[in-house]
Structure 1
Amino acid sequence: MVLPWRRRRDKTVSAVELTIPTYFRCPISLELMKDPVTLSTGITYDRDSIEKWTGTGNNKSHGVERIPTPRIPISPPEVIDICAGMVAATRRGDAKKCVELVVKVMILAKESERNKRCIVENGIGSVLADTFEYFTRFAIDIHENLLKEILSTLAWAPQLTQQGISKLKSTNSLHCMALFLKDEDLLTRRNTISVLKELVCADRDYVDRLAQIDGIQEILFQILEVPICPNATQACLVVIHHMMVFQKATGVQIISKFIQMGLIPLILELLVDGNRSVCDKALAVLDRTCSTKEGREIMYENALTIPLLVKKIRHVSDAATDLSISIMYKLFSGEDGSYNGVIEAVKLGAFQKLLVVLQVGCGRRTKEKITQLFKMMNMCRDKIDCFESYVGSKYLKAPN
């Protein structure tokens, strides 16, 4: 038995439904349009309906041409809903749903920079880090697709909370990323090294954990030796530099191991035609290798060393200038300093370049190193024929 008041309610609802204007309904599905788009014909359709219709072959040949229209930007609540769905799916161990949500994030991010910013600013990075760590507890090949999709997203959405970073420096996460650095797919390797770069820059403790992985130095060296792209090369150089500088227990041993692999000649080759960012980071790594006698000796033996250092002064960036001067200072000073290197630098025009650096302005430490380099050059004047023609006699005083 249906009560009278219930009947009245049902009739009211039906009446409301009948009052929806027909032009609010999609001509294809006859349903209320959720995302209306207007074609060049002037007719408006629901986006999903017209996309399905054109996707079945109904295109220009039938008089209809698809015209791209902007989608509604994603909002913070929508991103939060996606994050909540990801957390729930991870807790259930539902890898399929996680892949679906990660792909959805990627699609939304590609639509606009505004979408990308909204996604990054609303916590997707830390949620993905948690999902990544969870699924690395199982056999990696089972969830390989999901793990790679997450790294692909983290490569452009690197903002992580401390909790997110801690998830990605777990033993399982680190070993998974080390494995992906050797993957046959170049895109996977690029994404992985990009994520590692962000992590070592965000947390120095991450460097120690990374350095403990067997074979990690060989893996990083391989990425430099067989380049993927400039961005991957830059990221790899940053990771290597952080390992040399911040690895607590065996920093010197790490430098020595990289040197024995052949890192110095490889870095010098990168400096020959590398872009600005690559040169800056390559010189930073080279500067660290000069902190060991082993590194300096190998640099003395390489014919590219002095010409490249002189060339990079005032040629790439302020950072490259400071680093080149620092490397020259380390090479020429100390008990193992090379007078031959000083002489070669003078002949290549180092004196004039250093003088310009002083005139333009530089930091206190760089200025001190330049002063010491001038003294070394002055001491070598008797060993260079026509010394004045290289540097100009008015700039030098007789050695004491």
Structure 2
Amino acid sequence: MIVSWRLGRKSKKNKKPSQEINSDMEMIMIPRHFCCPISLDLMKDPVTLSTGITYDRESIDKWIEDGNLTCPVTNQVLASFDQIPNHSLRKMIQDWGFENRSYGFERIPTPRVPVTPYEVSEICKRVKAATQRGEKKKCQELVRKIKNWGKESERNKRCVEENGAGCVLSACFESFASAAMEKDDQDLTGEILSVLVWMFPLGEEGQTRLGSIKSLNCLVWFLKSGDLSARQNAALVLKNLLALDQRHVNASVEIEGVVESLVKLIKEPICPTATKASLMAIFYMTSSSSLNEKMIPTFVEMGLVSLIIEILVDGDKSICEKALGVLSHICDCKEGREKVYENALIITVLITKIVSVSNLASELSVSILWKVFKNHKERSGDGDNDAGGVVVEALQVGAIQKLLVLLQVGCGHSTKEKLKELLKLLNQFRVKLGCFDSSEDLKYLKKPY
């Protein structure tokens, strides 16, 4: 295998241009057995399978995770997925790289051995025992060890998650939650939150522990009074918990200060991750028909609609989709729609998001417009006299053209039906106002639309 390396520092000022070009590039041969058979790159962590073939750990991990049960080289079915570190080969690669460092090879560090299920099980037993004895410092020491395992590799994270650590840490969090709030001590519970963000779904017992009133109160306490990192972790954990079961949503909305804390994370953003987590938590809180009448007016009263409009103006794809999802739920309620009618910018923003962001954003925008236009009479009492309302505003910013484009591009059946209703309503208003010639834009639509 041939690899080219630039050696510009070897060229001298007194050489001719042609000589500089020739000497600026040299070829160096990498020994074939130093390269992974899968990636063809120099191996950093060589491991040997039961078939006797050596691969780079990262490459063979991905091969096995993709569902392959055979050795890539021999095509033999693997009798075992055990990977034995090839220390002698790794040492040879490191020595060879050191000898050729002048060619630009970076030093290959000695890799850490991945954590094993046995090690995870043992540390979980120790965390559980320390929790029962109320040994905060010991628990914190063990939690940091688990956290460091996760930092080393995604493989370690999966191993920790699959061997019951989430349940144990949830129980530990619940046990020390009250003490953390009383003494304003974030050390242990904050460390646990930083690990729990990648532990979900936790298991039934873990969900029960983390979804208890005691744990939820502590989560909201972190949202209100934690440092920036703790507030972000608390928002992520709460979002992940609410996504699992409606009972956690029902319990969380009863916690004092949860609404204010989530809205504050959007109003005073600390990072995009925290903002998205807050939006998703609000999405789950407003998605239940049993909670709509209570939660939506509360969020509207706190100015959430205006905040969402600000987000939509220049937010990225992911954050726009989440904000539109929340706004769609808000428009299920009369108070939410009334706030939309009052905002002069919202219709324009929604129409600009159609087709230009993503399929999901387009469908959510259509859904919001449909809810608002379908109920436009509730504000004026007579839709025919709503000359200054949302329907006319949509006409002025080219809503019909945008909706027609989406109809031609294609969308789901439900969205298509809403599109047809919107186009029919918009066309009726345009004809009555006599401000446009409707035949040109609508000539491709089948009657009666």
TMscore range, shorter length: 0.7 to 0.9
Alpha carbons 1:208, 1:247 under 8 Å: kept: no
Alignment match, 1:355: 404
Alpha carbons 2:430, 2:438 under 8 Å: kept: no
Alignment match, 1:345: 394
Question: Quick check: 1:322 aligned with 2:363?
Answer: yes
Q: Find the aligned partners of 1:318 and 1:252 in 2 and give their Cα distance.
A: 29
Give the structure-2-normalised TM-score.
0.71
Alpha carbons 1:127, 1:164 under 8 Å: kept: yes
Residue 159 of structure 1: which of 189, 195, 201 is its match? 201
Alignment match, 2:309: 268
Q: Find the aligned partners of 2:363 and 2:281 in 1 and give their Cα distance.
A: 21
Alpha carbons 1:76, 1:118 under 8 Å: kept: yes
Residue 126 of structure 1: which of 162, 167, 174 is its match? 167
Deviations 1:321-344 (A, max 9, x none): 111001111111133265532232
Deviations 1:87-126 (A, max 9, x none): 1111121111111111111111111121122112222111
- Tell me: CA distance 1:372–1:41, structure 2 relative to 1, closer, same or farther (3 Å): closer
- Tell me: CA distance 1:112–1:392, structure 2 relative to 1, closer, same or farther (3 Å): same
Q: Find the aligned partners of 1:313 and 1:106 in 2 and give their Cα distance.
A: 42
Residue 114 of structure 2: which of 66, 73, 78 is its match? 73
Equivalent position amino acid for 1:233 in 2 = T
Question: Gaps spanning 5+ residues in structure 1: where?
Answer: 1-34, 43-64
Alpha carbons 1:346, 1:391 under 8 Å: kept: no
Residue 186 of structure 1: which of 228, 238, 241 is its match? 228
| Deviation, structure 1 residue 151 | 0.4
- Tell me: CA distance 1:134–1:199, structure 2 relative to 1, closer, same or farther (3 Å): same
Aligned Cα root-mean-square deviation (Å): 2.7
Alpha carbons 1:290, 1:331 under 8 Å: kept: yes
- Tell me: CA distance 1:317–1:41, structure 2 relative to 1, closer, same or farther (3 Å): closer
Equivalent position amino acid for 1:345 in 2 = A
| Deviation, structure 1 residue 367 | 1.1
Alpha carbons 1:354, 1:370 under 8 Å: kept: yes
Alignment match, 1:200: 242
Equivalent position amino acid for 1:85 in 2 = R
Alpha carbons 1:197, 1:235 under 8 Å: kept: yes
- Tell me: CA distance 1:390–1:100, structure 2 relative to 1, closer, same or farther (3 Å): farther
Alpha carbons 1:128, 1:154 under 8 Å: kept: yes
Q: Find the aligned partners of 2:94 and 2:235 in 1 and give their Cα distance.
A: 49
Alignment match, 1:331: 372
Residue 377 of structure 1: which of 423, 426, 431 is its match? 426
- Tell me: CA distance 1:76–1:307, structure 2 relative to 1, closer, same or farther (3 Å): same
3-state SS of paired residue (1:74)? coil
Q: Find the aligned partners of 2:289 and 2:229 in 1 and give their Cα distance.
A: 28
Alignment match, 1:46: none
1:1-400 equivalence runs, <5 A: 68-140=109-181, 141=183, 144-246=186-288, 248=290, 250-334=291-375, 335-336=377-378, 340-384=389-433, 386-388=435-437, 392=441, 394-395=443-444
Q: Find the aligned partners of 2:164 and 2:257 in 1 and give their Cα distance.
A: 33
3-state SS of paired residue (1:362)? coil
Q: Find the aligned partners of 2:155 and 2:169 in 1 and give their Cα distance.
A: 20
| Deviation, structure 1 residue 143 | 5.1
| Deviation, structure 1 residue 192 | 0.2
- Tell me: CA distance 1:268–1:390, structure 2 relative to 1, closer, same or farther (3 Å): farther
Q: Find the aligned partners of 1:98 and 1:343 in 2 and give their Cα distance.
A: 62
| Deviation, structure 1 residue 382 | 3.1
Q: Find the aligned partners of 1:247 and 1:172 in 2 and give their Cα distance.
A: 26
- Tell me: CA distance 1:41–1:72, structure 2 relative to 1, closer, same or farther (3 Å): closer
76-85 or 65-74, larger mean C-alpha shift: 65-74
- Tell me: CA distance 1:78–1:341, structure 2 relative to 1, closer, same or farther (3 Å): same
316-325 or 337-346, larger mean C-alpha shift: 337-346
Deviations 1:284-315 (A, max 9, x none): 11111112222222211212111111011111
290-299 or 301-310, larger mean C-alpha shift: 290-299
Equivalent position amino acid for 2:390 in 1 = G
Q: Find the aligned partners of 1:90 and 1:369 in 2 and give their Cα distance.
A: 55
- Tell me: CA distance 1:316–1:301, structure 2 relative to 1, closer, same or farther (3 Å): same
| Deviation, structure 1 residue 39 | 11
3-state SS of paired residue (1:182)? helix
Give the structure-1-normalised TM-score.
0.79
Alpha carbons 1:95, 1:143 under 8 Å: kept: no
- Tell me: CA distance 1:380–1:145, structure 2 relative to 1, closer, same or farther (3 Å): same
Question: Gaps spanning 5+ residues in structure 2: where?
Answer: 1-86, 96-105
301-310 or 238-247, larger mean C-alpha shift: 238-247
